[in-house]
Structure 1
Amino acid sequence: MLLFRLLPAEVIFFTGRFDESGFKWGYPLRCSGSPPRHWDAVTGVWQLASRPRSRTLLHQRDHSPKMTASSNPVHTPPQEQRFLVLFDFDETIISENSDDAMVRVLPGQQLPTWLRNSYREGHYNEHTQKVLAYMAEQGISKESIHSAVERIPPTPGFLELFQYLQSHRQDFELVVVSDANMYFIETWLEHAGVRHLFRRIFTNPGDFDSKGQLVLLPFHSHSCSRCPDNMCKQLILQQYLTARQKEHGGTIFQRVFYIGDGANDVCPCQALGPQDVAFTRRDFPMHRLLVEMQQSKSAKFKANIVPWVSGEDIVDCLEKIMKER
């Protein structure tokens, strides 16, 4: 039962506008497969098979209490970061859609037909709000939701990926960009012991109100016709890069890596440059759409595409980049 030690970190919320915290956008790579592992549903931990290279995690869950945030947060040493890595959350960091995990705590483990049919294309955030309101009406407690989120298994190989990035923190800056919500993401990352790896989390604000209902708000408004009405990930990426460049007085990242799976991960990848990499989950919507764009020689898409099945595929590619930099 393994995990990283939890350290203090920052969180940034946006509800309708950006402040000054906000956002430049490799070469072809080949990824190898990953070793076998299994998910222990009782302990809520991936049991990892042996791997030739040693990557020892920092602490075991049963024997390492989580650290509380101090008044003097630990920051990465003030040196130039080489690579920016952006992660989607649902079906990228975790192995399923976090909203699906919520349905399993409902009576009968399914939504009523009228609620399922109320979904409108491009209004996923709105639909999720309806689902959360229905859950509150059914008496689903905060504790049940919290526990359901913690039990979601990580995508295979992503604990190894986080371990690799932990051991190279001076070379990578990590950010989550997700259309899930802050409560789900923070809860899961903290339980997995990897929250401290991420400099920022950009997602829809979500927390419990005084009545015990999980309330979800849209992240921001935007004018992008390709994206859901509550979030444009390309806009988030652009504003984040602009802000980081302003902080450092010039270009800070040599390359940008985007790791995702869904159709809403395509828009930010269109802002990536020829030295950047779109890590696409193989045979998921993001992969199929980007391959189509690449084959059509679209002038709007310039980045390299690297498909992955396991997080260890991404580790193998990053190791090659680090060796050949």
Structure 2
Amino acid sequence: MASGAASGVDGAVVVVFDFDRTIIDWDSDDWVITKLGAADAFQRLRPTMRWNALMDRMMAELHAGGKTAEDIRECLQSAPLDAHVVSAIKAAAALGCDLKVVSDANTFFIETVLAHHGVLGCFSEITTNPARVDADGRLRISPFHDPTAAPHGCRLCPENMCKGKIIESIQATAGAKQQHFVYIGDGKGDYCPSLKLGEGDYVMPKENYPLWKLICKNKQLLKAEVHPWNSGEELEKTLLKLVSKMITPPAQASQFDYSKCEMSNPASTEVGHHQALRVPH
């Protein structure tokens, strides 16, 4: 990525959010499993299964216990979301940033939380593990990378998702258009995509979480500037400071229509496909 300020707003600044412990300050898998009473089954099965298969099995356990997809939705809606994070998302969207989610959660969990807090339409794309409600009413969760295809081959990432390859795909779609990235995350899986960013880009790691610790081991490996945060308020202040720095001429969120967040649904990249598909609601 070339250094220097972005020459406008619309899509010139791409803000990529992780979901668990980033947009939300908790883990969505843990929240659902614990609140809906499947913690014992989870502890029993955890040593025997890979994570995606385990989460799909947990949804089967909940279904067998009489919990419906709507129960799961209501459980997710009961969880908190920091008002500063909501404000940051709306302001960045209003300033013309292209907001995306790249997460190892799943479409059902992410869409439910973002829609409940009125910010789903702020995002142009959600890339995560696919989820669907089957004919029996059971929530099914699948890995992002098609398990029948060749593995992604990245030693830094879990087998079901390489966020670095996803970032490279987003970068490739820019074509001749100059884009600058802000990547916000917390976990080990956010390290690979951070390495894909260049000069003029920014990484916002959650302080004292795995991504931050990996970066601190050798900051010279990253070309992007690093700006840590440790609360929703700091996330908001840091993100909007960086966005304002990249936008030329400087713009104020008040000049834009916040209803953008209510206008459209994001696209969803499904397993085994490269095209973006509309998220069903």
Contact 1:125–1:218 under 8 Å retained in 2: yes
Give the alignment partner of residue 291 of structure 1, picking from 216, 224, 227: 216
- Tell me, yes or no, if structure 1 residue 311 matches structure 2 residue 232: yes
Runs of 5+ unmatched residues, structure 1 = 1-23, 28-77
**Total equivalences in the alignment:** 238
- Tell me, yes or no, if structure 1 residue 251 matches structure 2 residue 177: yes
Amino acid at match of 1:274: E
Q: Name 1:140's counterpart in structure 2.
A: 67
Task: Compute the RMSD of aligned alpha carbons.
Answer: 2.3
Alignment of 1:118-267 (within 5 A): 118-119=48-49, 123-155=50-82, 157-168=84-95, 170=96, 172-221=97-146, 222-245=152-175, 250-253=176-179, 255-267=180-192
Q: Name 1:114's counterpart in structure 2.
A: 44
Give how far 1:211 is off: 0.9
Give how far 1:83 is off: 0.8
Q: Name 1:98's counterpart in structure 2.
A: 28
Give how far 1:315 is off: 3.0
Counterparts of 1:25 and 1:106, CA distance in 2: 48
Q: Which secondary structure state, in structure 1, belongs to the residue aligned with residue 19 of structure 2?
A: coil
Give how far 1:155 is off: 4.2
Contact 1:85–1:174 under 8 Å retained in 2: yes
Cα gap change, 1:216 to 1:322, in 2 (>3 Å): closer
Amino acid at match of 1:182: T
Counterparts of 1:165 and 1:80, CA distance in 2: 11
TM-score, normalisation: structure 2 = 0.77
Q: Which secondary structure state, in structure 2, belongs to the residue aligned with residue 307 of structure 1?
A: coil
Counterparts of 1:217 and 1:150, CA distance in 2: 22
| CA shift digits 1:268-317 (9 cap, x unpaired) | 001011221110111111111111121xx33xx21111111123323323
Counterparts of 1:145 and 1:319, CA distance in 2: 33
| CA shift digits 1:7-34 (9 cap, x unpaired) | xxxxxxxxxxxxxxxxx5989xxxxxxx
Cα gap change, 1:146 to 1:277, in 2 (>3 Å): same
Counterparts of 1:25 and 1:230, CA distance in 2: 31
Contact 2:76–2:113 under 8 Å retained in 1: yes
| CA shift digits 1:99-145 (9 cap, x unpaired) | 111113434754354213324xxx32222122222222222212210
Q: Name 1:72's counterpart in structure 2.
A: none
| CA shift digits 1:163-189 (9 cap, x unpaired) | 322431x2x110000111111111111
Counterparts of 1:292 and 1:127, CA distance in 2: 32
Counterparts of 1:323 and 1:215, CA distance in 2: 41
Contact 1:103–1:109 under 8 Å retained in 2: yes
Amino acid at match of 2:66: G
Q: Which secondary structure state, in structure 2, belongs to the residue aligned with residue 244 of structure 1?
A: coil
| CA shift digits 1:173-220 (9 cap, x unpaired) | 100001111111111111110011100000111011011111111112
Amino acid at match of 1:204: N
Counterparts of 1:259 and 1:244, CA distance in 2: 20
Structure showing the higher helix proportion among its residues: 2
Counterparts of 1:113 and 1:323, CA distance in 2: 46
Contact 1:88–1:178 under 8 Å retained in 2: yes
* Bigger mean CA offset, 217-226 vs 278-287: 217-226
Amino acid at match of 2:178: I
Contact 2:10–2:98 under 8 Å retained in 1: no
| CA shift digits 1:54-112 (9 cap, x unpaired) | xxxxxxxxxxxxxxxxxxxxxxxx97422110000111111211111111343475435
Q: Which secondary structure state, in structure 1, belongs to the residue aligned with residue 174 of structure 2?
A: helix
Runs of 5+ unmatched residues, structure 2 = 147-151, 247-281
Counterparts of 1:319 and 1:105, CA distance in 2: 34
Amino acid at match of 1:158: V
